[in-house]
Amino acid sequence: ETGVTQSPTHLIKTRGQQVTLRCSSQSGHNTVSWYQQALGQGPQFIFQYYREEENGRGNFPPRFSGLQFPNYSSELNVNALELDDSALYLCASSRLGQGGETQYFGPGTRLLVL
Provide the binding-site residues for other proteins, judged by CB under 8 A: 2, 4, 33, 35, 40-45, 48, 55-56, 58, 88, 90, 92, 96, 101-108, 110
Of 102, 95, 97, 87, the residue nearest 35 (C-alpha): 87
Looking at residue 25, the DSSP 8-state letter turns out to be P
Q: State the minimum distance, in angstroms, from the CB of residue 58 to other proteins.
A: 7
Q: State the minimum distance, in angstroms, from the CB of residue 77 to other proteins.
A: 20
Query: 61 or 97: whose CB is closer to other proteins?
Result: 97
Burial, 76: exposed, middle or buried (Cβ in 10 Å; 0-12, 13-18, 19+)? buried
